[in-house]
Homo-oligomer: A and B are copies of this chain.
Amino acid sequence: MPPKPRRVTQREIAEIAGVSQTTVSVVLNDRDGKNVRIPAETRARVKQAIEELTYVADPAARRLAGLDNQIIGLFTYEAALSPESMDFYGPLLNGLERAAEQVGWDLLFFTSSPVENGTRSLFHRKTRLRLTDGCVLLGQQMVASELERLVAEQFPFVAIGRRDETAAAVPYVAIDYVTPANELMDQAVAQGHQQALYVHRGTDTPTARDRRLAVEAASADGRLSFLLVGEERIPDLPRLAQATGATVILGEDAFLTEDVVHSLTAAGIGVPDEISVAALAEVRGHRVEGRALAGFHVPREQLAAEALDLLQTLIITDPNEWHTLEIRRLLVAEVRSRETIVPRKAQP
């Protein structure tokens, strides 16, 4: 490394203004009490020197002295800025940037984290985590041990996405899929539907479980009768619909639902005229048969704002009081069902 370029320090300001470094610090922080008093005239002299030399404090020194840095970390378990992930991360990152700008925080992307055992890891030998005041975690596959360590170290952080699987109390903001799922099913019922299919993947994430439970609950209390179908049986859907008399098919996500529609239309079944469809997930940008696919709009910008708000709360609260806080926040997704959930066709 070349010699670190020397920049203006408080000591230099002090020499020029003819005071001590202490006084400069006091003036900078507008401190004044019974212990320390600086008359207006001296203050002015110091402030002038600060202006002239265009002093800016060294954040590393501030940090070392135990102060905050107004930096928050952003850790993603996959590349955040690649074109592929932009679809998902884009609105979140945009929301984070806007919220950070609002409160005057800088955003540190932990792009350096090396890949170990398949995923990136937050704790490595030179992690810059501790430079930040707090941290936002993004990604489908978080490592439980890292979350637990963050909790144990009482480091302020917020995960985006539900993190109930871990024993420790992980602060998160996430999307409530249950409320809008019920709303969507109620609308289907109001349109005359009685029999339905739910097409799902094999995965067992918290949100997948949520959706399935909502569907099963609706089936159990007689609102809407469901048959649950794995994705491998999509080719068989036309027959299944026929056999069960289903007039609605819900998919776990938008892509799956598109596959469902292809299977139906290939068999000559009209969507949505004969069978209504919807995804219990984000559907922005997804169209089937020239219509906007019914499903949810997830407020992702707001999700980011909420995450930073929660993080800020954690940062300014003593860790020992965290248990008194509401560290899990759910945002309700918005239902958009108009175009592919339509009234049930009169029986022939």
Contacts and interface: CB of A to CB of B under 8 A. Distances in A.
A179 interface: no
A139 to B, nearest CB: 15
A232 interface: no
Number of copies: 2
Interface string A46-72: 000000001011111101101111110
A213 to B, nearest CB: 34
B80 A97 contact: yes
- Taking residues whose C-beta sits less than 8 angstroms from the other chain, chain A's interface range is 35 or more
Interface string A123-153: 1111111110000000000000000010001
Interface string A284-322: 000000000000000000000000000000011111000
Contacts of A125: 56-57
A70 B109 CA distance: 12
Contacts of A128: 59, 69-71, 106
A109 B106 contact: yes
A154 interface: yes
A79 B98 contact: yes
Interface string A18-50: 000000000000000000000000000000000
Taking each of A54, A94, A96, which has the highest tally of chain B beta carbons within 10 Å of its own beta carbon?
A94
Interface string A77-94: 001111100100011011
Interface in A1-18: 1-5, 7
A131 B130 contact: no
A109 B2 CA distance: 24
Interface in A95-138: 96-98, 100-101, 104-112, 114, 123-131
A107 B76 CA distance: 13
A238 to B, nearest CB: 38
Given A2-B317, A83-B90, A127 B56 contact: yes
B109 A58 contact: no
B111 A107 contact: yes
Contact of A109 (B67, B90, B107): B107
A242 to B, nearest CB: 43
Contacts of A64: 58, 60-61, 64
Given A60-B60, A60-B131, A70-B126, A106 B112 contact: yes
A1 B316 contact: yes
A168 to B, nearest CB: 15
29 contacts: A1-B315, A2-B317, A2-B318, A4-B66, A5-B155, A5-B319, A7-B130, A54-B149, A56-B126, A59-B60, A59-B126, A59-B128, A60-B60, A60-B61, A60-B63, A60-B64, A70-B112, A71-B128, A80-B97, A81-B94, A81-B97, A100-B109, A101-B111, A101-B112, A105-B112, A106-B108, A106-B112, A108-B108, A109-B109
Interface of A: 1-5, 7, 54, 56-61, 63-64, 66-71, 79-83, 86, 90-91, 93-94, 96-98, 100-101, 104-112, 114, 123-131, 149, 153-155, 315-319
